[in-house]
A and B are shown apart, each in its own frame.
Chain A
């Protein structure tokens, strides 16, 4: 296990509930102790593995889910294969009931197969669950997903939405890094990823500091949160997180929401376009574009177009639905060549 001094700031549930908007806007990770301790699901998960599984099964209506299955030799670490051209596990479509059966069946195994149902919409796989186990996030249109598995590790990655992850069963350890640690985390391929997000190639259980020396720098800025059933962790958008499920049965419900209008696409698309059209420019030209991007995008404010009459600002004016549509049409048209 990594030696990380810094713990994620811990907060009583009442404080989070009273000042949720403020904490979300602040964008700092938080461990909210007991936020969902009152959920029947978390109470069942705390009682026993059987009770936790039974509680979920009460909402199971034959749903098929995507699952990852890995052999005992991967020791719960879902990752690439040896040459980073494939993966060390099999994605399968399977009945959720079968997954729950197998988790129970292997619960006492010393080295079980790794079983993981990631990011599955709660309302489709366990209809009715949220009527009894849910969080009020105000006007935010959050996507609620459930994650179920045995002892597993998911490599450090970031997600674009804000994330509130609530542990229902089993203990979980989150290791978090601020967005700026990207260069110290040795991130793998962008085009081939386990679940859509690029991941750190560092094995947190046995970091190879010869191959990944700057990971030591990342560790200096890391924070850890250890959660028990009933606890929640707030992971701000773009924060790197490595997630370990520590018990033979683990379940987590998370909420993802964006602080941006729906017409905005993921900035990852801009990155891909940047690789296509910016990265390989001569250095001088790239630096010139850096200034252009700083001016129009990264440091844009109300002064950027202030010298122009309002009617002439076009895409430099605040974007609305109509401008977004026009821009999309223009981009689609220009990209298709």
Chain B
């Protein structure tokens, strides 16, 4: 259920947004869409995997928070236990919309901010004010604007990144078999990651091309992110002990 409307400072003048992280606000998700420009922040805490979009069949990168659906092992009573939260989570309950430019002929379509009025984060009494008293933009909304812009540009850059991975056959499917301390076994499947062997076998010219196009750094960020799998399983085991 979602009710997306164009954000404006008249109808939404009293709008506040609860920015606390909690399952009751929809943060109980196993993963979130990410993009190469934020891999540096994401890989500090979360494994990055690729998944095929159900509709388009395109590979998309995701930051992983849990081992099964609706499991976010970073969420606890205190909130979200990490210093970096992926932008597609941070943006909630706002999203990017587009509308035609001013009625003039030849106008470009403009990026605008939409808000999901059915989000549990929406409030009139608590949380961050979206607009200032007389309709100005609050620091919070200013930050949301930059996040939405970064997401828009970041997601637009993903297809070129994925195309480069496919061109050099660097993506391979990946199943994670986990045996937890209580003896139970879990299998996380349907994901793809970078094939390090093929990456290691690329010749200088190809590496240079990847580097020139800005793909090499995010490739290594994805590889580095895999060391977070261990920490993720450890979070799961800690939960079992409780």
Contact = CB atoms under 8 A, between A and B. Distances in A.
A65 B102 CA distance: 14
Contacts of B103: 87, 91, 193-196
A218 B114 CA distance: 45
Interface stretch (B128-136, B149-157, B170-178, B187-195): B128-136
A116 B106 CA distance: 11
Nearest to A118: B105
Interface in A299-337: 335-337
B25 to A, nearest CB: 28
A23 B230 CA distance: 77
A125 to B, nearest CB: 8
A65 B105 contact: yes
Interface in A64-105: 65-68, 87, 91, 93
B100 interface: yes
A120 B106 contact: yes
A20 interface: no
B205 interface: no
Contact of A337 (B104, B107, B132): B132
Contacts of A68: 105
Interface in B9-26: none
A44 to B, nearest CB: 23
B105 A337 contact: no
Interface residues of B, number: 12
A67 B107 CA distance: 10
Contact of A335 (B100, B104, B106, B136): B136
B137 interface: yes
A183 B46 CA distance: 65
Contact of A66 (B107, B136, B137): B107
Nearest to B133: A337
Contacts of B134: 337
B169 to A, nearest CB: 35
A117 B104 CA distance: 10
Nearest to A68: B105
Interface residues of A, number: 21
Nearest to B100: A91
Given A91-B100, A336-B137, A66 B132 contact: no
Contact of B105 (A91, A335, A336): A91
Interface string B79-115: 0000000000000000000001011111100000000
Nearest to A87: B103
Nearest to B142: A336
Q: Which of B105, B107, B132 has the most CB of A within 10 A?
A: B105
Interface string A183-212: 000000000011110000000000000000
A337 B131 CA distance: 8
Given A91-B100, A336-B132, A337-B132, A195 B105 contact: yes
A194 B136 CA distance: 27
A192 to B, nearest CB: 9
A67 B104 CA distance: 9
A191 to B, nearest CB: 11
A121 B104 contact: no
A71 B106 CA distance: 20
A336 B106 contact: no
Contacts of A223: none
Contacts of A196: 102-104
Contacts of B132: 336-337
Contacts of B107: 66
Contacts of B104: 66, 118-119, 195-196
A252 B140 CA distance: 47
Interface in B116-137: 132-134, 136-137
A121 B105 CA distance: 10
Given A67-B105, A119-B105, 6 more contacts: A66-B106, A68-B105, A91-B100, A93-B100, A195-B102, A195-B103
Interface of A: 65-68, 87, 91, 93, 116-121, 125, 193-196, 335-337
10 shortest interchain CB distances as A-B pairs: A66-B105, A336-B136, A66-B106, A118-B105, A195-B104, A120-B106, A337-B136, A337-B134, A337-B132, A196-B104
9 contacts: A66-B104, A67-B105, A93-B100, A118-B104, A118-B105, A196-B102, A336-B136, A337-B132, A337-B136
